[in-house]
Structure 1
Amino acid sequence: MEWLWRLIGGENGEDVVEYALALVLVSLAAFSVIIATGQSVGALWVGVCQPISQVAGGAVPCS
């Protein structure tokens, strides 16, 4: 996990929000891959993107 921490630029307890967000996004991506059997890539992307877009205030285009 240290590589992920370095990737997002956290040092010694800084950027905890970014670390948590990155961890959530990685978890969502892994979970989505697991449940993706039989679903189209487009439907999967919209399913993953919509919650992220809501958190980001609609800044992420999902369609």
Structure 2
Amino acid sequence: MADPLPSPPSYTTEFVIIDEAHERTIPTDLLLALLKGTLPLLSDLKVVIMSATPDVDVFLNYFG
């Protein structure tokens, strides 16, 4: 069985800004997936997702 992940390091980042999220590139999708798993652990972290296409429901449903 794999060892559990270590505790997140101390950090000062308060915001993550993702621009052009509607383009659905592999790096953007991976970042969104990592953030989805990390956000419950880092309640003070704010994520700003910007997109030229205002399909907010896609992101609201994903992060729901």
Q: Give the alignment's TM-score, normalised by structure 2.
A: 0.33
More helix by share: 1
Q: Which has the higher strand share?
A: 2
